[in-house]
Structure 1
Amino acid sequence: MAVRIGGQAVMEGVMMKNMDRYAVSVRKPDGKIETKVRKCVSFAEKHPVFKLPVLRGVVNFVESMVIGISTLNYSAGFFEEEEETQPGKIDQMLDKISSGKGESIMMAFVLIISLAISIGLFMVLPYLASELLGQWIRNEYIILLVEGLIRIGIFLGYIVLISRMEDIKRVFMYHGAEHKTINCLEAGEDLTPENIKKHSRLHKRCGTSFIFIVMIISMVFFFFIRVDTIWLRVLLRLLLLPVVAGVSYEFIRLAGNSDNPLVQIFSKPGLCLQRLTTKEPDESMIEVAVASVEGVFDWREYLEKERKCHE
């Protein structure tokens, strides 16, 4: 039985997801680890058509963003200033208007804003920049390539810039702890700090690799957009994004289960990029990652069964 646990780093913690449950473990300011476990039923479980290839990728992308933002907010709550213990006026007003659903509304608002900024920064801006260069470059293939290179350049610049922030450096260390723990589990080894430390902090199913693959595959899809109006080209790019995300998900899924040399070659750029978004964790961070795994998965029972099967 293959392990299908995925995760995400949060502020001073790690979120791990397994099947229909996820757990987020946070190292609180007092040094203790607190773990919250929640059940999450995928939209695809209620509507089986969304289990089909590509469609399942779109659903997974949206659900991952929702859970990601929720767990980030949860972890950040442990480090808010003490004087902010009372809800703000905006929060109180939202709760009153929405019958106690103010937090859900705020979550939806944050999700929409995050998507809008990401699409504007990494999709629309590179296209408009390449259009400006089109005044001097007449070859549409070169313009498309330049658009893709600008998109990758903006993304790399963004990663390098935020990696200089002290809080982000620690998030990247927890990101490394998450990957090393999953790699250790997938290797069939006990989740002890000694075992986890020796494993790689890179993983083929990482979200960083997914974003990079999205950028590459988008270049292929956008090549087939053949309209003259700028606003219509932008609109078609936006409409194609769910398809691009779905196809990219299928590649990441394949990469996580395949040792095919060609798949390995295409996975290399994403793995190299993870050297920027992951850092070597300390033992206390590894302990948090293990606590998060234990919130959703009995790894001892799993490894015992695996060993008995191979005896």
Structure 2
Amino acid sequence: MAVRIGGQAVIEGVMMKNMDRYAVSVRKPNGKIETKVEECVSFAEKHPLFQLPVFRGMANFLESMVIGMKTLNYSASFYEDEEEQTESRTEQLLEKILGEKAEKIIMGIVLVFSLAISIGLFMILPYIASEALGKLIRNEYVILFMEGIIRIAIFLGYIVLISRMEDIKRVFMYHGAEHKTINCLEAGVPLTPENVDNFSRLHKRCGTSFIFIVMIISMVFFFFIRVDTIWLRIVLRLLFLPLVAGVSYEFIRLAGSSDHPLVQIFSKPGLALQRLTTKEPDHSMIEVAIASVEGVFDWREYLENLHKGEQKEDE
């Protein structure tokens, strides 16, 4: 049985997701590890269309964003300062006004706002910049290629800038702990800090690799947009995004289970990028990642069954 656990680093913690459950473990200011486990019913379970290839990637992309924001907010709640406490009071006021739906409404607003910023920064800005270069370069294909290069450059610049922040450095260390733990589990090795520390902090199914693949595949898709109106080009780019995300998800899914040389070649840029978004964690961080796995997966039973299966094959 293959392990299909995925995760995300949060503030002083790690989130791990397995099937219809996810757990977020946080190292609290007092040094203790707090783990919260939640059930999550996938949109695809209610709508069979989104169980099909490409479509499942679209649903997974949005669900990952929602769960990611929820777990980030949860981890941040342990480290609120006075300003954040004021924001919490604002949220409490909204809860009184909106009732039980307040959290979902607030989450929806934050999600839309985050998507708008991401689209503006990584989609619209590169397009505008490439159009400006179009006054000097008359070749349409070169302009489209430059748009992709500018998009990647903006993303790399963004990663480099935020990596200088002390809090982000620690998040990147927890990101490394998440990858090391999953790599250790997939290798069939017991999850101890010492064992986990021996594994790579890079992983082919990482969200960083997914974003990079999205940028590469979008370059291919945008070659087929042939309209003269600027605003229509932007709209069509936005409409292509779910499809691009779906195709990118299928590649990342394939990369996580395939050793084909061609897949390995296309995976290398994303893995190289992870050297920026992951850092070597300490053992206390690895302990948090292990606690998160244990919230959604019985790795001891899994390894026992795995070794029993190997013994039977040998007999």
Q: TM-score range by the shorter chain?
A: over 0.9
Gaps of 5+ in 1: none
Q: Deviations over 1:133-171 (max 9, x none)?
A: 100100011101100000000000000000000000000
In structure 2, C-alpha distance between the alignment counterparts of 1:290 and 1:271, rounded to whole Å = 22
CA contact (8 A) 1:94 1:101 kept: no
Gaps of 5+ in 2: none
Across the aligned residues of Structure 1 and Structure 2, the Cα RMSD in angstroms comes to 1.2
TM-score (norm 1): 0.98
For residue 100 of structure 1, report the CA deviation from its aligned partner.
3.0
How many residues of Structure 1 are paired with residues of Structure 2 in the alignment?
311
For residue 194 of structure 1, report the CA deviation from its aligned partner.
1.2
AA aligned to 2:154 is: I
For residue 106 of structure 1, report the CA deviation from its aligned partner.
1.1
| Structure 2 match to 1:165 | 165
Change (3 A) 1:168 1:83: closer
| Structure 1 match to 2:16 | 16
AA aligned to 2:292 is: S
For residue 233 of structure 1, report the CA deviation from its aligned partner.
0.2
In structure 2, C-alpha distance between the alignment counterparts of 1:298 and 1:20, rounded to whole Å = 15
In structure 2, C-alpha distance between the alignment counterparts of 1:101 and 1:254, rounded to whole Å = 38
| Structure 1 match to 2:303 | 303
Q: Determine whether 1:3 maps to 2:3.
A: yes
In structure 2, C-alpha distance between the alignment counterparts of 1:310 and 1:232, rounded to whole Å = 57
Change (3 A) 1:84 1:239: closer
Q: Determine whether 1:235 maps to 2:248.
A: no
| Structure 1 match to 2:35 | 35
In structure 1, C-alpha distance between the alignment counterparts of 2:82 and 2:229, rounded to whole Å = 53
In structure 2, C-alpha distance between the alignment counterparts of 1:236 and 1:50, rounded to whole Å = 22
AA aligned to 2:143 is: I
For residue 213 of structure 1, report the CA deviation from its aligned partner.
0.1
In structure 1, C-alpha distance between the alignment counterparts of 2:200 and 2:187, rounded to whole Å = 11
Change (3 A) 1:298 1:133: same
AA aligned to 1:35 is: T
For residue 270 of structure 1, report the CA deviation from its aligned partner.
0.1
TM-score (norm 2): 0.97
AA aligned to 1:226 is: R
In structure 2, C-alpha distance between the alignment counterparts of 1:187 and 1:88, rounded to whole Å = 42
Identity %: 79
In structure 1, C-alpha distance between the alignment counterparts of 2:279 and 2:199, rounded to whole Å = 13
Change (3 A) 1:88 1:53: closer
| Structure 1 match to 2:117 | 117
